[in-house]
Each structure stands twice: as structure tokens, then as C-alpha cells.
Amino acid sequence: MTDMAHISERVAAFCGTTNIPGYVAGVHHAGGQHIVAHGVANAATGAPMRGDTRFLFGSITKVMTTMLVLRQVELGAVDLDAPVVTYLPEFTLTTPGAAGRILVRHLLTHTSGIDADLFFPAGCGPDALRIYLDGLGRQCGTLFEPGELVSYSNGGMIVAGRMLEVVTGTPYHELLRREVYATAGMTDACTSAEEAILRGTAVGHFADPVTGTVRTTGMFTLPATWAPAGGTPIGTVGDLLALGRAHLAGGGTPAISARSAELMRTVAHDLGTPNVPPVGMGWLVRELGGTTVLTMSGASPGGVAVLAVAPSEGLVFAAYGNDARALSLHDALLSSLLPAAPVALNPTDVALSRYVGTYRSDQLRIEVSVVDGQLEERITYEPADAVQEATFTGFVGGPFVVPPLRYEPVGADLFAPAGLPLGDLDLTSRQYLVSYHGDGPDGPTHRCSGGRMTRRVPSGR
């Protein structure tokens, strides 16, 4: 059985060094299950972090949304290879004809190309996802042709959630409670802050970059318009372990069939670059020490959760830290459970000029230039309106201002932050790498960072 005393010691040491307020982790292995908790769930109140403390699941919800869609596929109500507009005629985008070319499977594999990563329309109640879809059609286009590339897509999962509502005639949250929470044994999970407040619930925190002191978040959840991508579902580490257990031994559980579990863990698209793991349906599919591990992390305002499942090892790992810096502790603990060789990165001589240009996605502009023999990036957030700016800055804990960043080549079309030891870039920290893709007349057509694509546009746009 896993040495939980060792994990508890590592958690206490990490939180003591970083001043992260609280952390909770659980491991299911070889039929046994243990949970450890440390620190406080809320620095303002001093409420302790406990094994049964609730927290926001964040993007781990995407695994559940995928399970809900695949249930409808098994019932014959949805075809993975049908255009989304077959079931959702009102689905449109600003790119002419693009919505009609997006298939249902593209929504689940982050290959739809929908450019909506920073699109946060306000909305609540039973019409929240309809409000999202309406705004999407008026504001957002695409980054690439469906199936061409991978770009982590909140928008794709939200469209999938609205499609589920239309196909089943049932609100998304009700589907989630009935067909995932209940069947997987997620007995403490809920779908709203109103429910969460009735039990001990952790809140996120942000650290001052100068003093290191932490403050509680001023925003608990993202709008309900983001529910299927992870805006609102809440539960415990025990709930996430239950979700993970449903995927052990190849599925075949009340929560998910063996066929659907296989679809989810089968690689659907692999960019072949270390900063973007291969994607299945709902899961990211990593190889750690020769073991296939299904992973998904989930950010929330000032917090971060993780779920990892290694079916061949009978292992599930789940954790939450109420400070985004806990992501590196997630990595360290997962690496201790499933050791893996670090990714091979080597300084490389390349012609930097081919990468110079302007790259864009919705509300984000990146200017790439060559400075002192390195690539320099200047990132600018350009909010569409005051509502979206307030939501995004609440999510990240303040104004989104990024200083100029320098990068050095470490592989074919691959760059690492200048001065950062390459050995430190492992597991989720590989998201700090930047890769370039495509071959246009002026150079690469796309830039990828943090799993998100931006497309090359004429300079100044």
C-alpha cells in the first residue's frame, strides 16, 4: 500500500516552505484508500482543511461531461461523427461555416478549434448554457479547422453541455447529479455554492508576489455559463477517488461502460510535442514510467485540483490545494507514485526570425520578436467588455499583466523559458514550454502555450 505517512510529510514540508494555506490528497491503490489533509481551508476564518472538505473540481468536470455525452452515444441519441448542429441547430460561430464542420467528437478531444478560452458571459439558472451559446455565436470564431490541431477548449465542453440539455430535455446540473454523481458514488458532490456552504468548503487564495503573504479569493466560482467546463461542480477528494475508481479495470461500472471507458482513454490526437500531452476523450493520456496514466487538472479561483488514474496499476490519485502553486506539489506526489524519466530537452540552434510576428486568440495578443539572440514575447489581454474583464481578473486574482518573457530553443519548433533549468520542466510544468505549429508563407501558423493555441495574424492586428 502507498506510504501515506511519507505523503503527509511531503505535504507539510511543501506548505510550510511556500505558505500555501491548505492541501488535501487521497490515494486508492490495491483495494485500499487513504486521505491526508493539512493546513486550513480558509485563511480568513482558520477553518481546518479536512479529509471531507469540499472544493471546486474545476476542469476535472470535463471528464464528467464527456461521460455524459458518451452515455447518450450508447443510447443512440448522439453520434460522435455527426456535426454538432445536427443536435444543436442554433450553434454558430463568427467564422463563416465553421460551426457546421465541427463534429461531436471534436468537442470531447479539444480539437474543435473554437476560440473561446477567455469568453466569460454572465448568466445563471436554467438558461445559463443557452446564454453562453448565444454569446458564442456573436463573439467567437475558430483558431483552426476542426481536427487539425489540439487546443485545450473550455468552449467545446460548454457546447457539449448545452447539446446534452437539448438532446435529453434535462438541465446539465441535473444530468450530472443523476448520471455521474449517483452512479459513481460521489456522495458528497454538489453543483452550487448554495449547496456547498452547508458543509465545510475550501476557498482559493492568492499569494503576493513580493511578500509571499496570501489572501482569500474575492470570487468563489466562475459563472454558471461555464458549468460543463468546470465552473460550478464541487465535492471532496473522496468524490474524485470514486470517479477515478469508475475508470479502473477498463470501466464496466454503473458510471461508465467498458466501451465508453476505452474511448476516453484511447489517444485521439497527439501533437507530438512535450508541452501538450496526447488527448483522449475528456482525459489527457500520459505515459509515466511505461504506465498509461489518465489525468486532468482543474483550476478554480485561487485553487487547483488534480485527478490521475493508472488503470493497469489499480491506482487513483486525487488532490486539491487552495493556492495555484500547489500544482507543483501535485506533480511531485504523482511522480513519487509513478516515477518517470524527465523529458529530453536540448539547446538548439535555429533561425529565430521565422517565429517573429503577431499571434492571437480571443481577447489575447502575443507579439513575438528577437531580442539579444532570444525570442521575446509580449502578452496583452484585451477584454471584450467590463463583465468579462471582471470575471477573468477575479479568476487570476488581479489585473492580468505579464512582463516580457524570453525563450530559448530546446528542440524542433520548441522553446523553454530562458534561464530555467531544463530538468525542472516535467509533468504539468511542461506547460511553460512554447511550441510552434504549421507552415505558412511567413513561418509557423500557430503558437501553443499552456495547451492553448494562438493563430498567426498580420502584424499589428
Q: Is the same domain home to 323 and 360?
A: no
Task: Tell me how far the alpha carbon of residue 119 is from its chain's centroid.
Answer: 15
Beta-sheet strand order (sheet of 315-321): 47-48, 32-42, 22-29, 315-321, 303-310, 291-300, 284-288
pLDDT in tens, 170-201: 999 999 999 999 999 999 999 999 999 999 99
CATH label of the domain that carries residue 387:
2.40.128
CATH label of the domain that carries residue 303:
3.40.710.10
- Is pLDDT larger for residue 92 or for residue 432? 92
Is there a domain that residue 347 lies in? Answer: no
Mean pLDDT across the chain, nearest whole number? 94
Q: What share of the chain is helix, strand, coil (3-state, %, to 5)?
A: 35, 25, 40
Is there a domain that residue 346 lies in? Answer: no
Q: Is the same domain home to 56 and 97?
A: yes
Q: What angle do CA 172, 174, 176 make, to 5 degrees?
A: 70
Q: Is the same domain home to 141 and 272?
A: yes
Is there a domain that residue 373 lies in? Answer: yes
Instruction: State the helix-helix crossing angle for 4-18 and 327-337, rounded to 10 degrees.
Output: 160
Which of the residue ranges 82-86, 294-298, 423-427, 454-458 would you say has the lowest mean pLDDT? Answer: 423-427
Q: Is the same domain home to 256 and 403?
A: no
Q: Which long-range contacts (CB under 8 A, 24 or more apart) does 169-174 make?
A: 171/126, 172/129, 172/227, 172/228, 173/227, 173/232
Give yes or no for a contact between 197 and 102, defined as CB atoms under 8 angstroms apart: no
Is there a domain that residue 437 lies in? Answer: yes
Is there a domain that residue 54 lies in? Answer: yes
Is there a domain that residue 222 lies in? Answer: yes
Give yes or no for a contact between 114 and 140, defined as CB atoms under 8 angstroms apart: yes
How far apart CA 379 and CA 390 sit, in angstroms, is 19
Q: Is the same domain home to 175 and 195?
A: yes
How far apart CA 161 and CA 72 sit, in angstroms, is 12
Indicate the pLDDT class of residue 424, thresholds 50, 70 and 90: low
Is there a domain that residue 337 lies in? Answer: yes
> Domains in the chain: how many in total?
2
How far apart CA 426 and CA 288 sit, in angstroms, is 11
* Domain stops at, among 287, 321, 341: 341
Lookup: cell for 328:
507543483
Q: Is the same domain home to 94 and 180?
A: yes
Q: Is the same domain home to 99 and 125?
A: yes
Q: Does the pLDDT of residue 69 top 60, yes or no?
A: yes
Lookup: cell for 124:
445563471
Q: Where are the beta strands (DSSP E) in 290-396?
A: 291-300, 303-310, 315-321, 357-361, 364-371, 374-381
Which residue range is the domain that position 417 belongs to? 352-457
Q: Is the same domain home to 321 and 430?
A: no
Q: Is the same domain home to 328 and 447?
A: no
pLDDT in tens, 254-293: 999 999 999 999 999 999 999 999 999 999 999 888 899 9
pLDDT in tens, 287-304: 888 899 999 999 999 999
Q: What is the pLDDT of residue 55?
A: 98
Is there a domain that residue 408 lies in? Answer: yes
DSSP 8-state secondary structure symbol assigned to residue 412: T
Q: Is the same domain home to 269 and 368?
A: no
* Domain stops at, among 341, 375, 402: 341
DSSP 8-state secondary structure symbol assigned to residue 53: -
How far apart CA 305 and CA 63 sit, in angstroms, is 13
How far apart CA 303 and CA 330 sit, in angstroms, is 12
Give yes or no for a contact between 295 and 307, defined as CB atoms under 8 angstroms apart: yes
Average pLDDT of span 41-49 = 97
* Domain stops at, among 312, 341, 370: 341
Q: Is the same domain home to 157 and 240?
A: yes
Give yes or no for a contact between 423 and 342, defined as CB atoms under 8 angstroms apart: yes
How far apart CA 286 and CA 280 sit, in angstroms, is 10
Give yes or no for a contact between 397 and 217, defined as CB atoms under 8 angstroms apart: yes
DSSP 8-state secondary structure symbol assigned to residue 333: H
Average pLDDT of span 148-160 = 97
Q: Is the same domain home to 318 and 422?
A: no
Could you tell me which residues come within 8 angstroms of residue 261 by beta carbon, excluding any fewer than 6 positions away? 247, 250, 251, 252
pLDDT in tens, 324-344: 999 999 999 998 998 877 777
